Amino acid sequence: MFRSKYIYIASMIVLLPLLGGCGKSLQYNPQAIHHLNSVSADSHDTKNDVTVLIKRFDSQMNEHFFNKPNLKTVPYQLTVNNQSTDDLTLSSEQINIPLEPLNKIKADITPSFGRSVGMFFIPLGGLNLIVGGIYTYNQFKTKDRISNDLTQKTIPEFINIPAGKKFSTILFINPTSLRPRMCMNLVQSDNQNKVYDFNLSLC
């Protein structure tokens, strides 16, 4: 009896740090993106009543948006303020720096399932199956939240920005692809020959 008691206490000592770590990894709450302005942006460029603004994420912003301070990619927020009379279109192909594919971003931000699997092997008198099952289920839910959040915050295949509206997105750039400046363009929706060109600093 005493031996079982000591085994239980020792198991809880091992388990508590794991519970804390897993709990933190599951605390992914999607945060709304607020449009940049000339004060909050690192760089901006204006052409014919259309302003494009950009801001590089730091570790604090990574933690706020992705529950992870250090990422394998470098995130930037991009805001388009379309005060012209034209509807504009944007796609990732209109940016001269390659963006990381969505599946790689999701894999980087999604917490590992290792700790949840490890819960099944901690001796807790049968409770390990319950605890492991709960954390595995919660991590699947977290994975879905991350996937949906990133899908909404990254550039889709094609986006239309109506006249008088603003649009914000997050660009994920591989550190090896970073350059001092980024060029991009916006195309008038009903006239593909009318193009707005922008040049932004990434430093």
**pLDDT tens digit sequence for 107-151:** 999 876 555 455 445 555 555 555 556 566 666 677 888 889 999
Residues 138 and 83 in one domain: no
Q: Report whether 38 contacts 152 (CB < 8 A).
A: no
- Give residue 63's pLDDT: 93
CA pair distance 127, 134, nearest whole angstrom:
11
Whether the Cβ atoms of residue 81 and residue 161 lie closer than 8 Å to each other:
no
Query: Side by side, which strands form the sheet with 50-56?
Result: 43-47, 50-56, 74-82, 166-173
Q: Is the pLDDT of residue 174 over 80?
A: yes
Are 36 and 87 members of one domain? yes
In terms of domains, do 166 and 77 share one? yes
Residues 147 and 161 in one domain: no
Domain that holds residue 118: 1-29+101-153
Same domain, 56 and 87: yes
- pTM across the whole model: 0.77
